[in-house]
Homo-oligomer: A and B are copies of this chain.
Amino acid sequence: MSEKPLPVTVLDEHTAAHVAELFRAFSDTSRVRILFALTTQELNVNVLAEMVGISESAVSHHLRGLRQMKLVVARREGKEVFYHIEDNHIISLFGEGVKHVRYG
């Protein structure tokens, strides 16, 4: 008696592209450090730049991408702009990746 083969489920290209795009947001060392910092608190561009060790311009470029993907939210307060993560699902997804690296 032969096993019934599982139906081969192909993820459609459109969905796959979106999944890839989501994970790509987490695929750069600087962005990972930015996002990690933002999982615990709201921070402005200047502080993020110092933490990560890249220019404010570079940080701003990263944040624009993350904003467009709705992974971070900006809030202006005077001259400064504070960023944070609103989506808890994103925080946990990102956190799982960090855990996997840290604790195998």
Interface residues of A (CB under 8 A from B): 6, 8-11, 13, 15-24, 26-33, 36-37, 40-41, 43, 47, 51-53, 89-90, 92-93, 96-98, 100-102
How many identical chains are in the complex?
2
- What 20 additional pairs, Cβ within 8 angstroms, besides A21-B27, A93-B100? A8-B37, A8-B43, A8-B47, A10-B36, A10-B37, A11-B32, A11-B37, A13-B33, A15-B102, A16-B30, A16-B33, A19-B32, A19-B98, A19-B101, A23-B26, A23-B97, A26-B27, A27-B27, A89-B100, A90-B100
Q: Is the beta-carbon distance between B93 and A15 smaller than 8 angstroms? A: no
List B contacts of A33 (CB < 8 A). Answer: 10-11, 13, 16
